[in-house]
Amino acid sequence: MAIGIFDSGLGGLTVWNAVHKRLPDLPIVYFADSAHAPYGVRDMDDIYNLTTAATQRLWDAGCDLTVLACNTASAAALRRMQESFLPPHKRSLGVFVPLIEALTERQWGDNSPPREVAVKNVALFATPATVASRAFQRELAFRAIGVDVEAQACGGVVDAIEDGDMILAEALVRSHVDALLRKMPRPDAAILGCTHYPLMEAIFADALGPDVKVYSQADIVAESLADYLQRHPEMLGQGQGGLFLTTGDPARVSARATQFLRQEIRFTAA
């Protein structure tokens, strides 16, 4: 039995790692669409087509439940998938809603009207496509009122991380934080709206300063998934876990993944 975790590249490994620690006995198939990364600079139809193709590949691997551990895919494709692509016996979960629930201190399934929350000024760091989709603001509006969101498109950060150039990634993060702070000088909280960004969480936190609470997705998504599977154990598919699949060069992707997680990860061709 297995679930699938999908990302355009290696950023979703931060979610895989958190899920593996939270649910060590859960079989997982991880799919990295490295040949087409990054998604954040693509148009919405392209992202949708790539995301549905990846989801189909995870279905073929026996995963009835897939986690879109990619904010760009969650923002640009998930709602459309739920409306017209997913059959009744399949589910895809995104990464936005658990994060917003944590930010607004609402429990899963709380469908009460939106209300005022403690956080008033939120800085959102995400890919250009995620920012353009306004999906975060849309989902937040279902749950909270009176929250000002300032979004910063962090061009180049994902590419630098995927290339293993952490010096460039740090410089870009600091530049993007400076740009956001010019627009919103005193955010209460910051959302790292890309699963690559937890690898740079300490840099974001340092650049933002000690008064800004930084919300990173991996642990929040892992806890949400544990709750979901407790309520829906039937969503565990019949696939075999422990697989890492990529559309890119398996040797190169494996080397990068091992560098990111500091444990050996071996990808095979999808």
Residues with a catalytic annotation lie at: 70, 194
State how beta strands 243-246 and 268-269 pair: parallel
Element (H, E) at 13: helix 13-22
The Cα–Cα gap between 109 and 93 comes to 14
The Cα–Cα gap between 8 and 22 comes to 23
Identity at 188, one-letter amino acid code = D
Q: What is the DSSP letter of 191?
A: E
Q: Which residues partner with 214 through β-bridges?
A: 190
Distances (CA, A) of 173 to 9, 80, 179: 19, 31, 10
Q: Which two tokens stand for residue 106?
A: 């609402």
Closest CA to 5 of 106, 92, 110: 92
